[in-house]
Amino acid sequence: MGGVEQSKICCIVRWRHHCEIMSKASTKQLYDLANHMRIDTIRMTCAAKSGHPTSSCSAAEIIATLFFHEMRLSKAFPKNPSSDRFVLSKGHACPILYAAWHQAGHISTEDIMNLRKLTCDLEGHPTPRLDFIDVATGSLGQGLSCAAGMAYAGKYIDKASYRVYCLLGDGECAEGSVWEAAGFASFYKLDNLVAVVDMNRLGQTQETMFGHQVDSLSKRFQSFGFHVVVIDGNCVEELLSAYSDARQTTNRPTAIIAKTLKGKGIAGIEDENNWHGKPVPENTIEAIRERFVYKTDVIGKFESKPLIVDAPDVKLPIGKLKIVEPAYKIGEKTWNFTVFSVATREAYGTALVKLGDVCPRIFGLDGDTKNSTFSEKLLKKHPDQFIECFIAEQNLVGVAVGLQCRDRVIPFVSTFAAFFTRAADQLRMAAVSFANLKCVGSHVGVSIGEDGPSQMGLEDIALFRAIPSSVVFYPTDAVAAERATELAANIRGIVFIRTGRLACPVIYDNNEVFEIGKGKIVRDGSSPKALIIGAGVTLYEALKAAEKLESENVEVIVMDLFTIKPLDEDLIIQSAKRAQNRIITVEDHYQAGGIGEAVCQAVSAKDIHVFSLFVLDVPHSGPPDALLDKYGISARCIVDAVLHAIHPPN
Amino acid sequence: MGGVEQSKICCIVRWRHHCEIMSKASTKQLYDLANHMRIDTIRMTCAAKSGHPTSSCSAAEIIATLFFHEMRLSKAFPKNPSSDRFVLSKGHACPILYAAWHQAGHISTEDIMNLRKLTCDLEGHPTPRLDFIDVATGSLGQGLSCAAGMAYAGKYIDKASYRVYCLLGDGECAEGSVWEAAGFASFYKLDNLVAVVDMNRLGQTQETMFGHQVDSLSKRFQSFGFHVVVIDGNCVEELLSAYSDARQTTNRPTAIIAKTLKGKGIAGIEDENNWHGKPVPENTIEAIRERFVYKTDVIGKFESKPLIVDAPDVKLPIGKLKIVEPAYKIGEKTWNFTVFSVATREAYGTALVKLGDVCPRIFGLDGDTKNSTFSEKLLKKHPDQFIECFIAEQNLVGVAVGLQCRDRVIPFVSTFAAFFTRAADQLRMAAVSFANLKCVGSHVGVSIGEDGPSQMGLEDIALFRAIPSSVVFYPTDAVAAERATELAANIRGIVFIRTGRLACPVIYDNNEVFEIGKGKIVRDGSSPKALIIGAGVTLYEALKAAEKLESENVEVIVMDLFTIKPLDEDLIIQSAKRAQNRIITVEDHYQAGGIGEAVCQAVSAKDIHVFSLFVLDVPHSGPPDALLDKYGISARCIVDAVLHAIHPPN
């Protein structure tokens, strides 16, 4: 909770050891705990006048048995590296999770009664503003990927005993991301991962695809390589047996298909439709109270199993990572693309290896594009620091979000920039998770050429700029690309690096210093008439345009942005003021949310005129040069735009 | 092809009827056809110096048997409503598809040798610029959803005999979207749908998750409700038998797991790694030629089965749809949210029913949010015009793209605006498909309140603005929302309507006329000092701010945008000029790609100052009013911004 002070990592509370098979009394106490939690969820959602008590109540026994019998948790420091992990993929059922931490004594009664208020971090769906939440959920179907990332870290990186439990709803099992995660988890034999499906039959508006046909879901998880146990999910004894079964299963993850009733225990509402996402009458708690075996308050009296403290201490060197200096030769000033040319995607791969050399917790993840993104360089040098995630970009990002939890890993995720759109929702949620995630998208813009529009990243800048607090790099040459990669590793948060397909000349010295939010003036003049702003392939077009303009006695300033977010507003404004208050932006990207709009907003009250060149239509396949020209972002188009800006038509 | 004139719908070519079991000779001819097509793919990719011959050659027999034995196709008019459909989900293998249409006589030799050139519509990945392509592919895993949409249209809407065939790669079966589509197809018993998986073992950079373990994929499709046939996919006889089996299967779709070899038939390259996506030596065609049974040219000599002409003629009344006039009462000018208040999401549902009343081909699709988006109104009135797609947004959009092919249906897809990000890649590809698709996203912005950030659409304007040629509506009140829905149905292309959760007062008369790209001045003054631009919930905040400012003797103009794209640039500039060249934009959305940036770009050379209010951070749960204020977009914040603009600090 916001007000609860976190204990330090060294202060691990040792919990009373529960024996493996609980006594009959303990089983009864678990039923009681489930009912206490039911009452909590009803009370807190009544107080909030909104929320999901029925989706919570179906899972009461699942959560009670996990928290007070199966899992090894640290109440004092929930993010303890050796603690088991719990991911509530069906995030709307968070009242039951809050109730569990309340019953554990970690959240006060006052706090749970402030559910969903602006002043309380017990939000409508869970976020890591709470110390016991690793990843935000609430967009369905995403939890299992994050859990699989955590389980991968536990088994292969930390090589520790902690286990990962993920609670899914049955409705969200229609989401493909669940099956991407399932395929990944079984491929990597994540036997420390347990998926529990709360199969309560009812979705938001009607019965799910599966209803109560447990076989249908059971067969799906089996076919995806899981060990599957089907149980009555409101039966404590069956739950305990299933967890034990999972613990004894090796080389594959376990799915527990827990058949439950939505609103279980709430008289008149249990298993009824039309009770999704709304409070139930508060007087229904009386009948639940009647079911207590022991008529006593139990808050704080039950504890989890003790931790097995074997996860290594990890201190990520964020802010201190240094790579070996780049080693390129400057290309010819003719911008001939054959001399000393290197693609920024290749320089990214080179820098990633250098980061991997100095930090074993730098990881590369890719979606079967590693020879195109050049992340395969890391695989070749440090195979233990690379995870092939196959063609499943939602899970690719989800696994990375899982890996970075509790500062276990700094994940670099790469694929074609266009295919990050496949994981746009995962990236949106990664922002809500305040994740430390590095994304590197290659093959941007029409300049990829012949492969055509399906492979061209043309909305990736908008996608990543829209993430609160994100940093977006767009390095132009190999030196800049290596430094962007280094900077990305040293920033906490979501960083995107936009890399290009074409090999382009190196324009910066190897010792050039790059900073976040600082652009470069790469060409200047004594009486410039316009400022041209580019990045990546369009920077070269801008330089070509500048030479052509100079031959016509028009001087311009050319600025290489390097960072698209945050923008170097000061340098843009200063340079524009020197250049008769005229800016021409040019980008290999669509208009919306791109460089042009960002620059327009930055100078929107500065009496500067901005003219923007961008890709307007769905492009066609063709040679890169021809496409740059056809879609209006070539040197020729820039020359025209500058002349038009200087001499506007009447 | 671009230059081939399409025949009219009435001019259906009747093809020679093939008997159900081919003669031995015919089987040999199919092998010959497959090898002719192999040679075509090698030659065309050598000429293009790029492309995917090996991924094509694994599928040569699959395509030869489909095109020249199994499918009922119209060579003269491929989009004939009664023709079988073919979707190449593994779009990179398009050379083999182009080769098939070449062998059928529909594409000239000259054209195939222009593969991937700017002047030729045989692009690097297929797009509907070609008359035989319904949906663009190339972003893997999307084809089966589109095919399922077409199959749904065939079985339930057209009630016709045409069948739908979809060729998938094995690598793309790691994509969750494939399993979303599979779940949908079996739930709706699409026995007119056949998925053929070209299981050639090798991905781009390594063996796929499955390798050649046919059982693993076979079990997955079985568990998702498919009838499954496992065959040698380079064996014509087994392929023909499998198609026959599929045709006799009722109440469920069929998956044919076709075990093949990548680069099949190419000496030294067959089944070898490191040959993905690159031309092979042209001299490898000699050995393939040696395998011909009949040493004759066959182009145009083989035809498909005849069509069963039973699909209805459909003429969608695009541009002519009219709804019954809205029937609301104007709310009180105090902007009290309780009097005559209606949420725009509810008005959308009302208008959708009205559209459904006048056109049986208006369809609603939703992802188990229909009581929140109000699309359930259509379900209740016209159950045959509604498809529940469950919680699987990628497939939701993919099915809609499939439905709209060949002008069968005008699909309206609704879910929470935030969850459209889940289908961002499908929307990106829908643009490449030039699809006629209507998307309606509800629950936008921090003003949804207590549910918290996971449910808040805050990047949806950017997402939809980034689609080339899209139209984006953001209606403020119920009258505007009904008219936006009507306009959306009458525009060809991708349209997004942004609707809100909160009930808000009606501000427009029922007979108010709305047009695409035309905003409304909803408050004016004789000597205005600023123009405030809002839409949706922020328009009400702007109106409240205007009243407060007037009490301080500051007059402002308030403009309701209605259309975010295309923007009403003329009205914005004229109004700003009248308002001392000052604009304040305010939006319940993040900055990137939002209203503020769009307006800044629109006035970027007009000597107008723009000050933008938008949501900067990841929001918290809380009451709507409190969140509007905390995140800087309330009336109070607008007042401050206007005063700041008028009296800027030094």
Inter-residue contact A58 to A260 (CB < 8 Å): yes
Contacts of A58 (CB under 8 A, 6+ apart): A93, A198, A200, A233, A234, A260, A261, A262, A263, A264
Positions in chain B short of pLDDT 50: 1-25
CA distance A257 to B376: 30
Kind and range of the H or E run holding B645:
helix B635-646
Q: Does A127 sit within 8 Å of B453, measured CB to CB?
A: yes
At B332 the pLDDT is 67
| Cα pseudo-dihedral B179, B183, B189, B190, rounded to 10 | -30
Contacts of A576 (CB under 8 A, 6+ apart): A531, A582, A583, A603, A606, A608
Is residue A300 assigned to a domain? no
HEC letters along A126-186:
CCCCCCCCCCCCCCCCCHHHHHHHHHHHHHHHCCCCCCEEEEEECHHHHCHHHHHHHHHHH
Is residue A334 assigned to a domain? no
Give contacts of A369 with chain B, Cβ < 8 Å: 204-205
Tell me which residues of A are annotated as active site: 393
Q: Does A601 sit within 8 Å of B204, measured CB to CB?
A: no
> Looking at the structure, do residues A433 and A367 belong to the same domain, yes or no?
yes
Asked if residue A619 has a cis previous peptide bond (ω within 30° of 0), the answer is no
At A296 the pLDDT is 80
Give contacts of B453 with chain A, Cβ < 8 Å: 123, 125, 127, 136, 138, 432
> Looking at the structure, do residues B537 and B637 belong to the same domain, yes or no?
yes
Of B290, B325, B354, which one is at a domain's C-terminal end?
A: B290
At A427 the pLDDT is 98
Dmax over CA atoms of chain B, in Å, equals 92
Q: What is the number of residues in chain B? A: 650
Tens of pLDDT, residue by residue over B114-165, are 999 999 999 999 999 999 999 999 999 999 999 999 999 999 999 999 999 9
Strands in A582-590's sheet, in edge-to-edge order, are: A520-523, A556-560, A530-534, A582-590, A609-615
Distance from CA of B385 to the nearest CA of A (A): 17
> Looking at the structure, do residues A190 and A148 belong to the same domain, yes or no?
yes
Give contacts of A432 with chain B, Cβ < 8 Å: 453-454, 618
CA distance A582 to A645: 7
Q: Does A627 sit within 8 Å of B203, measured CB to CB?
A: no
Inter-residue contact A264 to A288 (CB < 8 Å): no
Distance from CA of A468 to the nearest CA of B (A): 5
> Looking at the structure, do residues B428 and B556 belong to the same domain, yes or no?
no
- The minimal CB distance from A468 to the residues B171, B590, B620 is found for B590
Tens of pLDDT, residue by residue over A352-383, are 999 999 999 999 999 999 999 999 999 999 99
Of B471, B505, B539, which one is at a domain's C-terminal end?
A: B505
CA distance A320 to A617: 43
- The minimal CB distance from B454 to the residues A183, A418, A429 is found for A429
Give contacts of B47 with chain A, Cβ < 8 Å: none
> Looking at the structure, do residues B172 and B267 belong to the same domain, yes or no?
yes
Tens of pLDDT, residue by residue over A418-448, are 999 999 999 999 999 999 999 999 999 999 9
Tens of pLDDT, residue by residue over A516-572, are 999 999 999 999 999 999 999 999 999 999 999 999 999 999 999 999 999 999 999
Q: What global pTM score does this model have?
A: 0.95
Range of the domain at B250: 27-290
CA distance B34 to B59: 9
> Looking at the structure, do residues B209 and B258 belong to the same domain, yes or no?
yes
- The minimal CB distance from A176 to the residues B180, B370, B601 is found for B180
Is residue A422 assigned to a domain? yes
> Looking at the structure, do residues B375 and B492 belong to the same domain, yes or no?
yes
CA distance A415 to A440: 7
Overall average pLDDT of the A485-498 stretch: 98
CA distance A440 to A369: 12
Q: Which residues pair with A230 in a beta bridge?
A: A257
Of A258, A290, A322, which one is at a domain's C-terminal end?
A: A290
Distance, C-alpha B513 to centroid of its chain: 29
Is residue B17 assigned to a domain? no
Give contacts of B395 with chain A, Cβ < 8 Å: 176
Cα–Cα distances in Å, from B267 out to A614, B36, B131?
Answer: 45, 15, 34
How many CB atoms sit inside 10 A of residue A113's CB?
A: 16
Cα angle B56, B60, B62 (rounded to 5 degrees) comes to 115
Is residue A18 assigned to a domain? no
CA distance B407 to B363: 12
SS3 state of residue A456: coil
> Looking at the structure, do residues B533 and B576 belong to the same domain, yes or no?
yes
Q: The CATH number of the domain where A426 resides is what? A: 3.40.50.970
Is residue B510 assigned to a domain? no
Tell me which residues of B are annotated as active site: 393
Q: The CATH number of the domain where A573 resides is what? A: 3.40.50.920
Identify from A201, A600, A609, A616 which residue to disrupt to test chain B contact, counting B C-beta atoms within 10 A and taking the largest count: A600
Distance from CA of B312 to the nearest CA of A (A): 31
Q: Could you tell me what percent of chain A has a pLDDT over 90? A: 92
Q: Does A224 sit within 8 Å of B224, measured CB to CB?
A: no
A336 pLDDT higher than 60? no
- The minimal CB distance from A432 to the residues B171, B454, B604 is found for B454
Overall average pLDDT of the A457-463 stretch: 98
Give contacts of A177 with chain B, Cβ < 8 Å: 176
A302 pLDDT higher than 90? no
Give A56's DSSP letter: H
| Mean per-residue pLDDT of chain A | 94
Domain count, chain A: 3
* B25 burial type by CB count under 10 A (0-12 exposed, 13-18 middle, 19+ buried): exposed
> Looking at the structure, do residues A456 and A488 belong to the same domain, yes or no?
yes
> Looking at the structure, do residues A526 and A494 belong to the same domain, yes or no?
no
> Looking at the structure, do residues A530 and A500 belong to the same domain, yes or no?
no
Is residue A16 assigned to a domain? no
pLDDT band (50, 70, 90) for residue A338: low
At B333 the pLDDT is 60
Overall average pLDDT of the A276-293 stretch: 95
**What is the chain A residue with the closest CA to B170?**
A391
At A647 the pLDDT is 92
Q: CA A401, A403, A408, A413 torsion: positive or negative?
A: negative
What are the structure tokens assigned to B608, written together?
């107008």
Contacts of A534 (CB under 8 A, 6+ apart): A476, A540, A541, A542, A558, A559, A560, A561, A585, A586, A587
Q: Could you tell me what percent of chain A has a pLDDT over 70? A: 95
SS3 state of residue A401: helix
pLDDT band (50, 70, 90) for residue A304: confident
CA distance B647 to B650: 9
> Looking at the structure, do residues A450 and A386 belong to the same domain, yes or no?
yes
Is residue B318 assigned to a domain? no
- Backbone angles phi and psi of A197, in degrees to 5: -100, 115
SS3 state of residue B327: coil
